Amino acid sequence: MTVRPIRRLGDPVLRTACDPVTDFGPALARLVDDLMDTVHEPGRAGLAANQIGAGLAVFAYNVDGMLGYVINPVVAATSGEQEGLEACLSIPGIGAVRRRAARVTVTGVDLDGRPVTVSGGGELARCLQHETDHLRGELFIDGLDRAERAEVRRTLRQQATTLGGR
C-alpha cells in the first residue's frame, strides 16, 4: 500500500495538462494502485494523477461508497445545474461555492483498455468534473465567480503571510 503525498498549489504539475495514457503496462498499474490507496484515505473524494506528481490522464474517486478509477476520462454528458461547496486536496484550507453540472457521465478505459462509464449526480457529479478538470491543468478555483475568486485570493495571501511569518 502506497499513499503518495499530495502536490500543492504552486507546483507546476498542477497547471500542466496530463498526457493521454498509451502504455497499459506495469507502471500504469502501480500508478492506479497508488491513486486508489491515496484516495482511500479519510476525507478524500477524488484524486487526479497530477496531484501525486504523475502527468498521465488518470483519476480515482471515492464518493458515497463508490470507489474506482478512470483512465483517459472524457466528460461525455452533463445535465442540470448544482451549486455547492467545493474544496481541493491541493489547496488545503480553501473552500468555495462552485457551480457544476448536476449529473455527469464520464467515459474512459480501465487497466485492460476496456471501456468504462461512470455516471452520477450530486457529490459524484462534482467529483467527476473536478478530477477531469485537474487532468487539463485546471483547479476548481479557476471556475469560481468573481467575488468567490477575490475571497480565495485574500485567504491565500493571508495564509502565505501567516506561513511566511513563522
- Name the residues annotated as catalytic: 131
Distance from the Cα of residue 101 to its chain's centroid: 15
Confidence of residue 164 (pLDDT cuts 50, 70, 90): low
pLDDT in tens, 79-107: 999 999 999 999 998 999 999 999 999 99
pLDDT in tens, 128-160: 999 999 999 999 999 998 888 888 888 888 887
Residue 87 grid coordinates: 474544496
Task: Kindly list the structural domains of the chain, giving each domain's residue range(s) and its CATH number in brackets, ordered by start.
Answer: 12-164 (3.90.45.10)
Identify the H or E element spanning 158.
Answer: helix 146-164
Predicted pLDDT at 160: 78
pLDDT in tens, 25-52: 999 999 999 999 999 999 999 999 999 9
Task: Specify the length of the chain in residues.
Answer: 166
Q: Which residue has the cell 455516471?
A: 119
Q: What is the pTM of this model?
A: 0.92
Predicted pLDDT at 58: 98
pLDDT averaged over every residue in the chain: 94
* Closest to 71 (Cα-Cα) out of 140, 24, 119: 24
